């Protein structure tokens, strides 16, 4: 049994086996399916969440290591002003095509802007380099993050 806070709510979760991952806790136990499993080996970033404010691939985090942790998932981000702004910018700039990488991209973009209010294009590209997108070629995702940077001056 672990206790952790997910999107601001206290949760208790049974861990059925040592290989149980934070991604399983989110998707199976809590029913939060915003974080996606793209590869299951930490390469693609589709399962990205913030763990105590730090961007992680939740498929690589053993559930047993997140006792007492604070987790922000795409659903939690979407409730915040920052998340709403980012979602709107991704939608306007067509930063989402198939959408499967998008929640993870949103998490990576949020972590970047929370720590760097005015990133350059190079900094944006580096911050998103752990999230693979096969649809967009990344350009419109960069556009979306740049738009969020401009519009969210008072948020970040």
* Contacts to another protein by CB under 8 A: 27, 31-41, 43-44, 46, 73-75, 78, 83, 86-88, 90-103, 106, 124-126, 128-142
Write b or e for each residue in 68-95: b if 16 or more Cβ atoms lie within 10 A of its Cβ, otherwise e: ebebbbbbbbbeeebbebbbebbeebeb
Query: How many C-beta atoms surround the C-beta of residue 36 within 10 A?
Result: 22
Residue 6 or 83: the one with the smaller Cβ distance to another protein is 83
In the complex, least distance from residue 6 CB atom to another protein, rounded to whole angstroms: 13
| Closer residue to another protein in complex, CB, 16/67 | 16
Q: What tokens does 97 get? A: 């095509």
Q: Kindly list the distances between the CA atom of residue 83 and the CA atoms of 31, 108, 148, in Å, as whole numbers in the listed order.
A: 20, 11, 10
Hey, what are 7's tokens? Answer: 């999107």
Residue 85 near residue 148, CB atoms below 8 Å? yes
User: Rounded to the nearest whole angstrom, what is the least distance from the CB of residue 96 to another protein in the complex?
Assistant: 4
Residue 2: other Cβ atoms inside 10 A: 18
Nearer to another protein, 67 or 139 (CB): 139
CB of residue 113 to another protein, shortest distance in Å: 15
Q: How far is the CB of 92 from another protein (least distance, A)?
A: 5
CB of 31: closest distance to another protein in angstroms? Answer: 7
Q: Which residue, 2 or 128, has its beta carbon nearer to another protein? A: 128
Q: Of 13 and 131, which has the nearer Cβ to another protein? A: 131
Q: Cα Rg for the chain, rounded, in angstroms? A: 15
């Amino acid at each position: 049994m672990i206790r952790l806070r997910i999107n601001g709510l206290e949760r208790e979760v049974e861990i059925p086996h040592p290989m149980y991952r934070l991604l399983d806790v989110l998707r199976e136990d809590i029913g939060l399916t915003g974080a996606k499993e793209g590869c299951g080996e930490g390469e693609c970033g589709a399962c990205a969440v913030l763990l105590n404010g730090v961007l992680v691939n939740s498929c690589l985090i053993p559930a047993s290591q997140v006792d007492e942790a604070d987790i922000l998932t795409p659903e939690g981000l979407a409730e915040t002003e920052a998340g709403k702004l980012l979602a709107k910018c991704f939608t306007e700039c067509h930063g989402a095509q198939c959408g499967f990488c998008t929640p993870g991209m949103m998490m990576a973009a949020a972590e970047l802007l929370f720590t760097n209010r005015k990133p350059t294009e190079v900094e944006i590209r580096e911050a998103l380099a752990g999230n693979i997108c096969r649809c967009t070629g990344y350009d419109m995702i960069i556009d979306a993050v740049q738009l969020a940077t401009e519009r969210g001056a008072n948020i970040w």
